[in-house]
Structure 1
Amino acid sequence: MSRRTARKNAFFLLFQMDFNLDEEYEQVKEIFFAEQEEPVDEDDRDFILDEVEGTRSNLEAIDELIGSVAKGWDTERMSKVDLAILRLAVYELKFGGETPVGVCINEAVELAKKFSSDEAPAFINGILGKVAAINTEE
């Protein structure tokens, strides 16, 4: 599985987690992997879980950062799809450190094009551009 596909799966799992309680994480995670059309090898599973768990463990800081650059937008008002995409990308930009900035932003925009509204790609690109700029200043 490519990193792009693994990242898409991490987005799917993060999106699902937004509708479940923290206590249900283990169950949701196991169902998610059991329902995959093709088996997920150990490296891909590890990558997906690292992305999801890293995002979840830094969620407060991630949401605060998104809120600080999204002028006029509160994370509570954002669509759950857009928010899951943003959270994953901000995790990679701010805490992940392995994915190049351009790749991170491009893949988030591509997810938005495929799974969100027509306005979402530009919105997500703008937010992530501002996050990346903050990331560079530090």
Structure 2
Amino acid sequence: MSRRQMREHIFTLLFRRDFHSKEEMQEQIPLYVESQEELNEADTEELIRKISALLEKVEELDEKISSVTEGWTTQRIGKAEITILRLALYEMMYEEDVPSKVAINEAVELAKKFGGNESPAFINGVLAKLV
């Protein structure tokens, strides 16, 4: 599976976080994995490892995002956009094999696919402040 495909799976699961409790998310992960026929065992393990690690860091990520989004709390940012920002910032901070430029570019691509018309520019601007 490509890294881009893995990011989309992580995005989809992370997006669900804003609609489910922490306990429900523990149920959502296996349900999601079971519904994805293209995931092999290695992909499944990687997906579960990454989403679990990312979910543990959401509050920390939100604090960093809030520090550069003047006048915008994380609750005010659109669900797709905050999910993309969390994922990209996590990669920038904790995934040593992902250069920041790549994380930002991939986040912009996710914003084009899942966000609104102004999402790519917003995502790019916020992440540029966090580099």
TM-score calculated relative to the size of structure 1: 0.89
1:24 counterpart = 2:24: yes
1:18 alignment partner, SS class: helix
**Contact 1:54–1:91 at 8 Å: present in 2 too?**
no
Q: Cα offset for 1:10?
A: 0.2
* Sequence identity percentage: 44
| Aligned residue type for 1:75 | T
Distance apart, 1:45 and its partner CA: 1.9
Q: Which amino acid aligns with 1:57?
A: E
Q: TM-score, normalised by structure 2?
A: 0.93
User: What's the RMSD between the two structures over aligned residues?
Assistant: 1.2
The separation in 1 between residues aligned to 2:67 and 2:101, in whole angstroms, is 21
Instruction: Summarize deviations over 1:113-137 as a string: whole Å, max 9, x none.
Output: 01110000000001111111xxxxx
Q: How does 1:1-138 map to 2 (within 5 A)?
A: 1-36=1-36, 38-132=37-131
Gaps of 5+ in 1: 133-138
Superposed displacement of residue 95, structure 1: 2.1
What secondary structure sits across from 1:75 in the alignment?
A: coil
Q: Distance in 1 between matches of 2:97 and 2:109?
A: 19
Deviation at 1:103, TM superposition (A): 1.2
Shift of 1:101: 1.1
| Matching residue's letter, 2:83 | A
Which amino acid in 1 is paired with 2:13? Answer: L
How many equivalent pairs are there?
Answer: 131
Unaligned runs of 5+ residues in structure 2 are: none
Residue by residue, what CA displacement relative to the aligned partner does 1:42-61 show, whole Å, maximum 9, x if unpaired?
A: 22223322332222111111
Q: Aligned partners of 1:46 and 1:90: how far apart in 2? A: 22
Deviations 1:53-101 (A, max 9, x none): 2221111110000000112211010111111110011111112222111
